[in-house]
Amino acid sequence: MNRLKDATSPYLLQHADNPVEWFEWGEEAFAEARRRDVPLLVSVGYSACHWCHVMAHESFEDPETARMMNERFVNVKVDREERPDVDAVYMNATTAMTGQGGWPMTVFATPEGHPFYTGTYFPRQRFQQLLAGVSRAWTEQREAVLAQGSQVVTALGESAELPRGPLPTPPTLERALDDLARSFDAARGGFGGAPKFPPSMVLEFLLRHGTPPAPAMAEKTLSAMARGGIYDQLGGGFARYSVDAGWVVPHFEKMLYDNALLLRVYAHWWRSSGSPLARRVVMETADWLLREMRTPEGGFASALDADSEGVEGRFYVWTPAQLREALGEERGAWAASVFEVTDAGTFEHGASVLQLLEDPPDRAMLDDVRAELLTARSARVRPGRDDKVVAAWNGLAIAALAEAGALFDRRDYVDAARAAAELLARTHLDGARLVRTSRDGRAGANTGVLEDYADVAEGFLALYGVTGEVRWFERAGALLDTVLDRFPDGSGGFYDTADDGETLFQRPQDSTDGATPSGQFAAAGALLSYGALTGSARHREAAEAALGTVSTLADRHARFAGWGLAVAEAALAGPVEVAITGALDDPRTTALHRAALMAGVPGMVIALGDGGVPLMEGRGLVGGLPAAYVCRGFTCRMPVTSPADLAKELRDAPAH
């Protein structure tokens, strides 16, 4: 076993028995590189990454390759999910030097951490040649190598942050919609061509925007994904992305963040449309989260692997013969027709990924067959699970489950959201500072980054808005105070790391969405909600400033500003504030609360209960009855006591 044997990351533990003498990221590795006068070889990946596993089997488990690595380099393994800051700065370097990025990411760097040669996956023979060539260059052309590393660092340091402007206006949002429409795939949903990733944040914007063609674009994409192979038609939950443009064949890894974001979006789609398909996806995905992703401590694991038994997708795909074996001849043939399973197959070796392009007339038959196939599949070897708890992604899951639980009257979803929040408060939260990861109830050593603070605050505020438990509002406020104190860049935006954190060769800052909302836009959303609940101008102004890059992105890169656009919709709508006063166990209070939740006003905040939040101050019962106050900027309309009257008030509320 090498130095990784004591790591908390399941990804690092996968490499603990490699013949490579791995170090974890840290000063010990830098000191060893300086002592030996050799470069660093930094390998960055994550546990559910298929090509990371391939490179590990080909190279890191190979004695000859390991010998070359150990003799000529100090080798550092990084879990990108534990250290998104390290991943971000080296990914910037990799894309700048090679024109593309991905994982595994392979970086050769000076003992000071300055990159001078980068790449992604290398087959073993090519990798061995690279090891020899880089080592020779370090020995024979040291000045050129050091100069290249210095030039990379200087160039990245000079790269300008996106220009900032004022809060986006309605015309800005229309321009963003036009940009999205230009890249929209009208035939298959989604944006652009293969590969296709779930555009979760863009879909949230489209649902909030609400005017044509936004709803149609959202509905087409949400329907296509839910019926395609990217969605697990038996067990629920979405795979990471589709390798084709039609959502047929996924890259089979399942990530917590994708499913948390999509769960929330599908719940909002159901709220706006009443779609039975949306309802089914919400229920199945939430049930999958509770069934397969919960940890014993109450949090949610990071990911499921794409591979099982060393083969990508083996757990999920079917042949006609396998369907007949599980269901019998007649029902197996029926299932093959319903789920698009053919002799030719849609995946490798004649296997097919299950799709459900149309609901069959016999719904009871479908339910029975799905249950039988799920039982049969459970006997297969399961993909591995990365069971570390990431604060940011659990924040996203808390928000999604809390809202889904309230909308669908599923107390188990709300209870699961609360349990995850309790774990974060107990294990990840130290005063107003966050630890990014934990495993088995033990906090990791990695400090939280901006997305952790923002997404956890978002989750806590959503949980407060569903339960009325003031402690979650208070904890969100403490986290957002840290954002305002430790992360500002001095020009209205935020860095991704705190000012008292580890110093890397570049302080990362990215105001564009990736697989998750950018930390900057996530912070804007949480700050806006908190400001609406408190009347705090400081939080409101910080939120608007953090949205300053949205206008720059709206015209040509709107796909990378979905969450910023969604938050801008909320800001332009007010956001609408609803104070619901009354005993939490009073059915009349519950009815008012549900009417507010069902209204679907963009970014609306709800204060609930009998006090403890500034928005509730002075908002009392009316004639002894629970009452709701619809407000903007703490200026409220006359209170109402009936759900119907509240619904009418909110129908008139969201105009920009």
Domain boundaries, the chain: 3-158, 170-190+271-302+386-573, 316-379, 577-651
Interatomic CA distance for residues 547 and 554, integer angstroms: 11
Angstrom CA distances, 314 to 61, 310, 656, stand at: 23, 9, 50
Fold annotation for 170-190+271-302+386-573: Glycosyltransferase (1.50.10)
CA distances from 49 to 81, 239, 311 (A): 11, 12, 12
- Mean pLDDT confidence for 232-258: 97
Which single residue is written with the structure tokens 């559910």?
48
Is the pLDDT at 655 greater than 60? The verdict is no
Residue 182's pLDDT band (boundaries 50, 70, 90)?
Answer: very high
What is the pLDDT at residue 652?
A: 82
Please compute, for residue 186, the number of CA atoms within 13 A of its CA located in the half-sphere on the CB side.
3
- Within 10 angstroms of residue 559's Cβ, the number of other Cβ atoms is 20
Average the pLDDT over each of 2-6, 265-269, 401-405, 517-521 and give the range with the smallest value. Answer: 2-6
Give, in words, the CATH class of 3-158. alpha beta
The overall pTM is greater than 0.75: yes
Mean pLDDT of the chain: 95
| pLDDT level of residue 555 (50, 70, 90 thresholds) | confident
Q: Any residues with CB less than 8 A from the CB of 386 and at least 6 apart, and which?
A: 10, 11, 46, 47, 48, 81, 301, 302, 303, 304, 305
Q: For 159-182, what is the mean pLDDT?
A: 89
User: Predicted confidence band at 654 (pLDDT cuts at 50, 70, 90)?
Assistant: low
Tokens of 408: 């669908």
Decide which of 530 and 432 is more confident.
530
Q: CA of 519: how far to CAs of 310, 509, 511, 587, in Å? A: 35, 9, 7, 38
- Please compute the mean of the pLDDT values over residues 230-252 and round it to a whole number: 97
pLDDT digits (tens, 9 = 90+) for 584-597: 999 999 999 999 99
- Identical fold for domains 3-158 and 577-651, yes or no, is yes
pLDDT in tens, 408-424: 999 999 999 999 999 99
pLDDT at 225: 98
Segment 463-511, tens digit of pLDDT: 999 999 999 999 999 999 999 999 999 999 999 999 998 989 889 998 8
Confidence of residue 277 (pLDDT cuts 50, 70, 90): very high
pLDDT at 565: 97
Residue 160: predicted pLDDT: 58
Assign 150 a pLDDT band (cuts: 50, 70, 90).
confident
**Model confidence pLDDT, tens digit, residues 18-73:** 999 999 999 999 999 999 999 999 999 999 888 999 999 999 999 999 999 999 99
Q: How confident is residue 643, by pLDDT bands cut at 50, 70 and 90?
A: very high
- Give me the DSSP letters along 96-149: HHHS---SSEEEEE-TT--EEEEES---HHHHHHHHHHHHHHHHH-HHHHHHHH
What percent of the chain has pLDDT above 70? 99
Other C-beta atoms closer than 10 Å to the C-beta of 599 total: 20
Q: Which amino acid is it at 551? A: S
Q: What pLDDT band is residue 266 in, cutting at 50, 70 and 90?
A: very high
Distance of CA 18 to the CA centre of its chain: 30
Indicate the CATH number of 577-651 among 1.10.10, 3.30.420, 3.40.50, 3.40.30: 3.40.30
What is the per-residue pLDDT for 163?
A: 82
